[in-house]
Amino acid sequence: MELKRRSLLAAIGAGTAAAALSGCGTGTAASGSANGPAEGEITLLTPIFEGADGKTLLEKEILGGFRKKYPDVKVNVDYTTYLQLNEKITTGLAGGLLPDVMMMGVGWIPPFAAKKAIAELPEKFATAHDYEKRVLAPSRYDGRLYALPIVLDTRIVVYRKDHFAAAGIRKTPANWAELRAVAKQLTKDGRIGFDPFSIDLRQCWETFLFANGGQLFSADGKKVLFTDARGVEALQFFKDLVKDGSAVYAKKTDPLAPTNVQTGKASMMMTTSGLWKQVGDQAPDLIKDDKLGAFILANRKPAMLQGGTLVTQSASSKHPAAARALVEYLATPESILGAARQRGSVPGLKDLSDSSYVKENKFVDLSLQSMGDACSEGGTAAWMEIREKIKPTLEPAIVGGQSAKDAIAELGRLAEAAIGRM
Amino acid sequence: MGATSVLKARPARPARPPSPTGHTVAKKRTGRAPTGPGRRRQRAGMLMVAPALLHASLWIGLPVVASVVLAFTKYDVLTAPQFVGLDNFRELLGDAVFRKSIINTVVYTFFTVPFGMMLGLLVALALHTGLKAQGIFRTAVFIPQVTATVAIALVWLWIYNPGNGLLNALLSFVGIDGPAWLASTSWAMPSVILVGIWQGIGMKMLIYLAALQSLPKELYEAASVDGASKARQFFSITLPLLKPATFFVLITSMITAFQSFDQIYILTDGGPANSTTMMTYEIYKSAFREFRVGYACAQSLVLFVLLMGFTLVNRRIMGGTRGHN
Amino acid sequence: MATTELHRTGIADKARLRTKGKPLSAGRIALYLTLSVVSLLMVVPFVWMVFTSLKTPVEIASQDAGLLPEHWEFGNYFEALKAAPFATYARNSFVIAFSHTLINVVVASMAGYALARIRFRGSEVIFYAFIAALVIPTYTKVLPEFLIVRFMPLAGGNDIFGQGGSGWLDSWWALIVPGAVTPFAVFLFRQFYLDLPVELEEAARLDGLGEFRIYARIMTPQVKPALTTVALLTFESSWNNFLWPLLVTRTDSLRVIQVGLSVFKTENGPQWHFLMAGTTLATLPMVVLFLIGQRYFVQGFATAGLK
């Protein structure tokens, strides 16, 4: 009896494994044609359009318009949070039930495109609207288009104009030497001059790497390039700031707390373009009194890290024509502007740079004007793996005694191993 | 069924001297199948455990089998699993971060479990004495269990904030310049441990409270008549009788500690510099952030073996839980 | 086993002071004071959550605001409730938590009883299997569990091999069945049944009661605190479950309260006032449930009657 039970279990186990296998099989096989009429019932997975406003915006306005244009397509919306987006996608992939249309972050496209989980989009989508050339870079893999941007979020330096004025500083720092000097000058009475640590260390270091003229990976994504002097210098710069006392790791902003630049605990900080809206909600006086300014980080060149949410189409959609129509529709200026306004994000289209929303939001305006300096993370099929290693591997150089050189070398080893496994 | 089975003496008797009649199956039997009522009892036992067993086999057993199989594969959910032999385990050996997470997990468990259990028992004893308003106190102690993790994390982040946090404000009263708690590689772990103890007391208290209520009052009456002090009663009656509950609390607390995830996720994200990363956190990252399911399964297998090992050791130390013979 | 015969050795008196508190008024007062401080430490986050739910975003973000809200913004609650169909979510959560509680209490107590009181072939192995099941972390099981749900044969358009449809995904089955019985509860019940004296069941057996009746009529009423504990903990963890319902559902009408609350956790700065208002509303039923449930601990062994 015992034996029988055991063999039964084993048989069931083998069965699941087989099911998992075939699930993956179906996951990669596309069915139907993307060129046929757009019809059928499709699912949209979205980590954005949250809250009551977001839901109304998506379901009433955007999808309302879509329904008028494509009356034969029914769209089911599956909301998730950014934090759980991975779990949703992982289980969907494993089960062979990827949503027809998905929104995901910058950097996710190459790994998914490399494994043929998402479908290639026609090149005409790239020219349908007035995209800044840079903006579509994260949407491409191997030169082909796989996604369209919905909203962008950028990493910029925000500073307190009142602190600058009080210290007699007239212009924003144009390179790291100036930045370091200004930060030191502004540090006093428990206030820190520059806070680079309140955003994710990964994204912060990447911004500095790009501003230093460095790169993460080679164009084919097979070679690690950040291990050169430029990558080390970027990390060393944080160490220098900490040594000066003008940046303090322990004083980074807590999740609930208002940002350090908002409270005046820091005179400059690395932050996102979304801060404008947040300050507008939390401390409108700062905006009214014109106390906040922003500039693009620069050393060898100006660099603004650009992240954001892209919309893409599953390669296994049963209704590819309908899915493609939805991707196209979600990327139209009207849809984008609404989403950007709701989140305080950057709409990635030049057409929208004169819209009242962009003109009123100084950080968004600056970001859109600086799109030529934008850089993005990712660029290798091993990115999902490497991105997780960056923060914990670089942290010891900042909070521990490790040298910048060693930390970067260690990260380089981990990244090469990850690429080797692809 | 069971023609060659050796049925061990059935213990299951705390507190009272074994009854002379004993159990039908309490006697050693060798070489013969139980007959009559004994056999019926056995069948009843199997039937009663069957629903739970079936459920666990399907929803836990099967996933475990699948995980064990996947541990020997490379599986990124995008393409079919690929058999890679011991590659994942070989990589684990050289994975310094995972090694660190094992050490962190053991340290965390070693500190949260005993202290948490002691405090849980003390609070349970205090709230067992028939105080006025003890329902309010019980609820208060249990509240961290139901409070949203995000609220808990935010309050603790504020307590630990090195600038305007509560803890350093209190320390400054006695002239101590507090450290940067969660941002310091040496203080982050103790800080996380404190939150773990704090959050776990309610659950431990609840189990102990329930166990205390089940203790036979006659024993205490008899002891009082004998003139035994309360302390003596506690050590001679309460503590031995709480053994099954203590075993339960110990095992489940250990498992909970080994699997703690939420507070790490929100309080420290495993940092700084991996100083608070734990095994479940690494498993989560491998599977759901890096899409390396095979590797995550290999990591899970290590966790499973470690935890089962600890459980068996504990059972050995506690001398089993089936009463006292 | 010596229980009534108490050895006289001089072991620590402090346990008595701290725990058993003689009716000395000074000791009592100290006990009350200690408990009050402990309770206060425990409820701080909860209280903070309630107060935060009554503040404006500006006040939440302000540095020099006190713990108490300046103006009590009860409107936050109405606004938060308007953000999503919370009545549906709450109903769904309740249905799931209630089913889980009911199934778990019945099935796990039966298994726990059998494992504690009946020695049958394989019972020891089965007991260890349940402990082993307890050891598996959520993130290890979740993907295979999802696959089982998705490839459930003959459900949701699936054929006998689990292909073709979506199985139990997006259905009540997926929400209720996988989490209905917990090894935790089986283990807990076993430990509580272990404690009961044999005389109870022997008397019943002499009266000719079958094993199932002994379990249901004689033994189970003796472990009421365990029943209450399992019921409370099952309901609470089911009510607070977030990841699984999020993964297996898609349609709004099947979403649960914790998933619903995540609409306020927006990427660019969460809407704390709404999040805390919603969370407070979701937590209050659990607190009330516990407040009521803990009273049933008192009835524990009172009716044991094993003289």
Flag if B214 and C199 touch (Cβ within 8 Å). Answer: no
> To 5 degrees, how large is the angle CA C96–CA B65–CA C190?
55
Short-list A107, A36, A32, CA closest to A316 = A32
Token code pair at residue B205 = 């208290």
Burial class (CB in 10 A: 0-12, 13-18, 19+), A187: buried
Question: How many A×B Cβ pairs under 8 Å?
Answer: 110
Provide the residue count of chain B.
Answer: 325
Question: Residue B112: what are its φ and ψ, rounded to 5°?
Answer: -75, -40
Angle between helix B188-213 and C224-239 (nearest 10): 140
Of all residues in chain B, what percent carry a pLDDT higher than 90? 40
Query: Tokens 């104009």 correspond to what residue?
Result: A161
Distance CA B278, CA B105 (A): 5
Q: Is the pLDDT reported for residue C307 higher than 50? A: no
Closest residue on chain B to A111 (Cα): B78
Helices C183-194 and C123-135 pack at an angle, to 10 degrees, of 130
Confidence of residue C9 (pLDDT cuts 50, 70, 90): very low
| Helix, coil or strand: residue B173 | helix
- C139 touching chain B per CB within 8 A: yes
- CA–CA dist A209, A231 (Å, integer): 5
As a whole number of angstroms, the distance between CA A291 and CA A309 comes to: 30
- Cβ within 8 Å, pair C16-B229: yes
Q: Output the pLDDT for position C4.
A: 33
Distance CA A13, CA B65 (A): 6
Estimate to the nearest angstrom the gap between the alpha carbon of C223 and the chain centroid. Answer: 17
So what's the pLDDT on residue B128? 84
* pLDDT score for B9: 33
Matching residue, tokens 């966790």? B303
User: Is B291's CB within 8 Å of A20's CB?
Assistant: no
Distance from CA of A271 to the nearest CA of B (A): 19
Judged by a CB distance cut-off of 8 A, whether residue B87 touches chain A is: no
pLDDT for C251: 86
Q: Determine how many CB atoms are found less than 10 A away from the CB of residue A420.
A: 9
**Range 257-316 of B in CB contact (< 8 A) with A:** 266, 269-274, 277, 285, 287-293
Tell me: cis bond preceding B114? Omega within 30 of 0 counts: no
Amino acid letter at A301?
K
Q: Can you tell me the distance from the alpha carbon of C98 to that of C180, in angstroms, rounded to the nearest whole number?
A: 10
pLDDT over 80 (residue A143): yes
Residue with the larger pLDDT of the pair A147 and C162: A147
Touching C: which chains, 3+ CB pairs < 8 A? A, B
Inter-chain contact B10–C119, Cβ cutoff 8 Å?
yes
Q: Looking at CA atoms only, how far is residue B248 from chain A in angstroms?
A: 27
Contacts of A153 in chain C (CB under 8 A): 268
Which chains, if any, share at least 3 CB pairs under 8 A with chain A? Answer: B, C
Classify residue C302 as exposed, middle or buried by CB count within 10 Å of its CB (0-12, 13-18, 19+).
exposed
User: Is A111 near chain B, with CB under 8 Å?
Assistant: yes
CA angle B182/B188/B189 to nearest 5° reads 150
Structure confidence at residue A257 (pLDDT): 76
The predicted structure's pLDDT at residue B150? 77
Is residue B252 within 8 A of residue C187, CB to CB? The reply is yes
pLDDT confidence of residue A130? 86
Chain B CB contacts of C175 under 8 Å are: none
Which residues are A145's β-sheet partners?
A140
Tell whether the model's pLDDT for residue B15 goes beyond 50: no
pLDDT at C177: 94
Residue A29, pLDDT above cutoff 80:
no
In chain B, the residue whose alpha carbon lies closest to the alpha carbon of A255 is B154
Q: Which residue has the higher pLDDT, C150 or A107?
A: C150
Please tell me the predicted confidence (pLDDT) of residue B237.
85
Residues of B in contact with A13 (CB under 8 A): 62, 65-66, 69
Higher-confidence position of C266 and A149? A149
d(CA C194, nearest CA chain B) in Å: 6
Question: Which residue of C lies nearest to A45 if distances are taken between CA atoms?
Answer: C250
pLDDT at C5 exceeding the cut of 70: no
Q: Mean pLDDT of all residues in chain C?
A: 83
Of A16, A25, A28, the CB nearest to B62: A16
Alpha helices in A264-403 (DSSP H): 275-282, 284-288, 320-330, 333-343, 356-360, 362-369, 383-399
Which chains neighbour B (Cβ–Cβ under 8 Å, 3 or more pairs)? Answer: A, C
Q: Which of A182-196, A353-367, B28-42, B92-106 has the lowest mean pLDDT?
A: B28-42
pLDDT digits (tens, 9 = 90+) for A180-233: 999 999 998 889 999 999 999 999 999 999 999 999 999 888 999 999 999 999
Query: So what's the pLDDT on residue C23?
Result: 52
**Residue C12 predicted with pLDDT over 80:** no
The helix (run of H) or strand (run of E) holding residue A92 is helix A82-94
Closest-CA residue in chain B for A20? Answer: B80
Degrees, nearest 5: CA angle C140-A93-A154? 95
Residue pair A296/A373 in contact (Cβ under 8 Å)? The answer is: yes
Residue A25 CB coordination number (10 Å): 13
pLDDT bucket at B11, cuts 50 / 70 / 90: very low
Q: What is the pLDDT of residues B165-221, one digit of tens each?
A: 788 888 888 888 888 888 888 899 999 999 999 999 999 999 898 888 877 777 788
Residue of A nearest to B61 (CA): A9
> Which chain A residues are Cβ-neighbours of C85 within 8 angstroms?
none
* Closest CB from A1, A255, A399 relative to B157: A255
C-alpha distances out from residue A15 to A1, B63, C166, Å? 21, 12, 17
Q: What is the pLDDT of residue A233?
A: 96
Whether A278 and C269 lie within 8 Å, measured CB to CB: yes
Cβ–Cβ < 8 Å for A112, A118: yes
Mean pLDDT of A56-74: 92
Closest residue to C229, CB basis, from B140, B154, B206: B206
HEC profile of A8-66: HHHHHHHHHHHHHHHHHHHHHCCCCCCCCCCCEEEEEEECCCCHHHHHHHHHHHHHHHH
pLDDT at C301: 40
pLDDT attached to residue C11: 36
Q: How confident is the model at residue A145 (pLDDT cuts 50, 70, 90)?
A: very high
Give the whole-angstrom CA distance, residue B72 versus residue B51: 31
Q: Is the pLDDT of residue B24 over 70?
A: no
Q: How many CA atoms lie within 13 A of A166 on its CB side?
A: 12
Exposed, middle or buried by CB within 10 Å (0-12, 13-18, 19+), for B198?
buried
Cβ C187–B252 below 8 Å, yes or no? yes
* Residues of A in Cβ contact (< 8 Å) with C156: none
- Average pLDDT estimate for A365-387: 90
- Give the pLDDT confidence score for residue A176 in this predicted structure: 95
CA dihedral B322, B323, B325, C5 (to 10 degrees): 170
Of A26, A52, A258, the CB nearest to C84: A52
| β-bridge pairing B73-74 and A374-375 | unpaired
Q: At what angle do helices B188-213 and B243-258 cross, to 10 degrees?
A: 150
Pairing of strands A144-145, A140-141: antiparallel
From the list A43, A91, A343, which residue is nearest C143 (CB)? Answer: A91
CA distance A126 to A130: 9
On chain C, the residues whose CB falls within 8 A of the CB of B143 are 42-43, 46, 287
H or E, element range at A73: strand A73-79
Q: How many CB atoms lie within 10 A of CB B1?
A: 12
- Region of poorest pLDDT, from A96-100, B227-231, C299-303: C299-303
Q: What is the pLDDT of residue A298?
A: 95
Give the C-side interface with A, CB within 8 Å: 57-58, 60-63, 82-84, 122, 142-144, 146-148, 150-151, 161-163, 166, 169, 243, 246-247, 250-252, 262-269, 271-272, 274
Quote the tokens at residue C171: 């259905």
The string of pLDDT tens digits covering residues C112-164 is 999 999 888 888 899 999 999 998 888 888 889 998 998 899 887 888 887 87
Q: What is the pLDDT of residues C56-102, one digit of tens each?
A: 888 887 767 677 888 888 888 988 888 888 899 999 999 999 999 99
Q: Does residue C274 carry a pLDDT above 70? A: yes
Nearest to A113 by CA among A142, A148, A82: A142
Q: Which two tokens stand for residue C154?
A: 């003959």
Contact A128, A149 (CB under 8 A): no
pTM of the model: 0.86
Residue A343 pLDDT > 90? no
A153/C268 touch (CB, cutoff 8 Å), yes or no:
yes
Model pLDDT, residue B151: 81
Q: Do B157 and A90 touch (CB under 8 A)?
A: no
CB under 8 Å to A420, separation ≥6 — which residues? none
d(CA C79, CA B290): 38
Q: Which residue of B has its CA nearest to C194?
A: B12
Q: Do A94 and B291 lie within an 8 Å CB cutoff?
A: no
B249 contact partners, CB below 8 Å, separation of at least 6: B117, B120, B204, B207, B208
Q: For tokens 């401080």, what's the residue? A: C37
Calpha distance A136→A125 (Å, rounded): 10
